[in-house]
Structure 1
Amino acid sequence: LNADLWDDVRKLSSCDLRTLAHQTWFSPEREFQYFTVGLLEREIFRMYEDDSSSTADLALKTLNFVKVFIEHPSSWWDTVDALSPNVVGVLVQKYPDELLPEMDKWNVSSCFWLSRTSIIYQLSYKKDTDADRLFRYCLKVADEQEFFIRKAIGWALRQYYRTDPKAVRSFVLKHKNKLSSLSVKEALKHDK
């Protein structure tokens, strides 16, 4: 989108930003969801800047605001995969004490998009990845039959492999019988 539009968006109040995000996400045309993703990526920390709640409350409000979009029936892998590292991951990195317990809940959620998000939110963390948490989350849902979960496990492990190939290789080999063949294949895609 053009710079003039984003200049106008920057002038909106927090309340108006939230309204705009809802109106665009819930529009019948799917393309509006992409706009919402871009809006959240650019303005996530402004969504509740008009709120005088505690930091913990603000972090949870903001995460729950995004959660509505992730678990909505119109969500699909493309929007979830953008929101996970670029919005949820950024929030969790800024407010780990407040939001990591939420990621624990999302990991075992009956909504597989939330579970997928819990696995891939650290994609861009590199050396800051909490490997123990990533591995734990992968194991908790390893028996899941849902393609998007199996693929997420492999993708998250493959991404972390770029930072610590030895740890990922060791984890995958140790748990090869628990992980799906798709997860193993994706995780070790770059293993020589």
Structure 2
Amino acid sequence: MTDSFALIQTALRPLADPTRAKSMSAYLRGRYEFLGITTPARRAAVSPILRTLRAAPDWNVVTNCWAAPEREYCYVACDHLQQVPLQNSDLPRLKRLVIEADWWDCVDLMIRKIGSIATAEDMRNWAADENSWVRRVAILHQLRLREATDHVLLAELIDMNLGSGEFFIDKAIGWALRDYSGTNPDWVREFLATTELSTLSRRQAAIKLPPVIEPGSAGLGSS
């Protein structure tokens, strides 16, 4: 059997750029090593390999990519997981990956895929988890669902994480509300008016809220 991870390594290593790798590492506060490959170049290099793996998740590839020191391999694994069918029974594996990823760059790449296979009860459990990255996924798992968003569940998951004082949780709360504000701005305004949020969450949530037009105010100030 062909070792798909070895093929991925062979495809990526010649593209390494040490200068770019330094800047990519600096962007993530020096937490990780990089090969220094741009996203378009990385995807072009490995797409023929990932195309052969679309029938089912190759957990050997995912595990090896997650263990590799250079962060691009994590991104390859996330691309692979986006392209294959996953089941609710895969959630324990995915939760472990979220915990091991331990930073927003890989965690956020998995959010929508996890949301597509998770139940509301799964996300309630994740929202109460001791790991903040798991909680972040729960808060954000309905991103881009628009009218299909369960706003009662959204409010519940946010309420479970109020007052955490954690930057990436507060940012997630604001992001989730900002995303939904494009679909239901009145609900988001009401939530902001009745919920004690951190300054960061509130600022992020309000970024895309359209201004409120009071009755009879149209044309005021014009000549």
Residue in 2 that maps onto 1:59 = 88
Check whether the contact 2:120–2:153 (CA below 8 A) recurs between aligned residues.
no
Cα deviations across residues 89-124 of structure 1 (Å, max 9, x unaligned)?
2223xxxxxx32211110011100000000001111
Q: Which structure carries more helix by proportion?
A: 1
Residue in 1 that maps onto 2:102 = 75
Check whether the contact 1:158–1:189 (CA below 8 A) recurs between aligned residues.
yes
TM score, norm. by length of structure 1: 0.81
Residue in 1 that maps onto 2:114 = 88
List runs of 5+ in structure 1 lacking aligned partners. Answer: 48-57, 93-98
TM score, norm. by length of structure 2: 0.70
More contact order relative to length (CA 8 Å, sep ≥ 6): 1
State the secondary structure of the residue aligned to 1:143: coil
Check whether the contact 2:78–2:110 (CA below 8 A) recurs between aligned residues.
yes
Residue in 2 that maps onto 1:96 = none
Distance in 1 separating the partners of 2:43 and 2:169: 35
The one-letter code of the counterpart of 1:88 is I
Residue in 1 that maps onto 2:162 = 142
Question: What is the Cα deviation at residue 8 of structure 1?
Answer: 3.3
Aligned residues: 168
Cα deviations across residues 7-59 of structure 1 (Å, max 9, x unaligned)?
433434747x111011111111111111111111111x1x6xxxxxxxxxx52
Cα deviations across residues 144-168 of structure 1 (Å, max 9, x unaligned)?
1110000000000000000000000
Larger of the two Rg values belongs to structure: 2
Check whether the contact 1:139–1:179 (CA below 8 A) recurs between aligned residues.
no
Root-mean-square deviation over aligned CA pairs: 1.8
Q: 2:75 aligns with which of 26, 34, 37?
A: 34
Identity of aligned residues (%): 30
List runs of 5+ in structure 2 lacking aligned partners. Answer: 1-41, 212-223
State the secondary structure of the residue aligned to 1:32: helix
Pairing 1:97-112 to 2, within 5 Å after superposition: 99-112=119-132
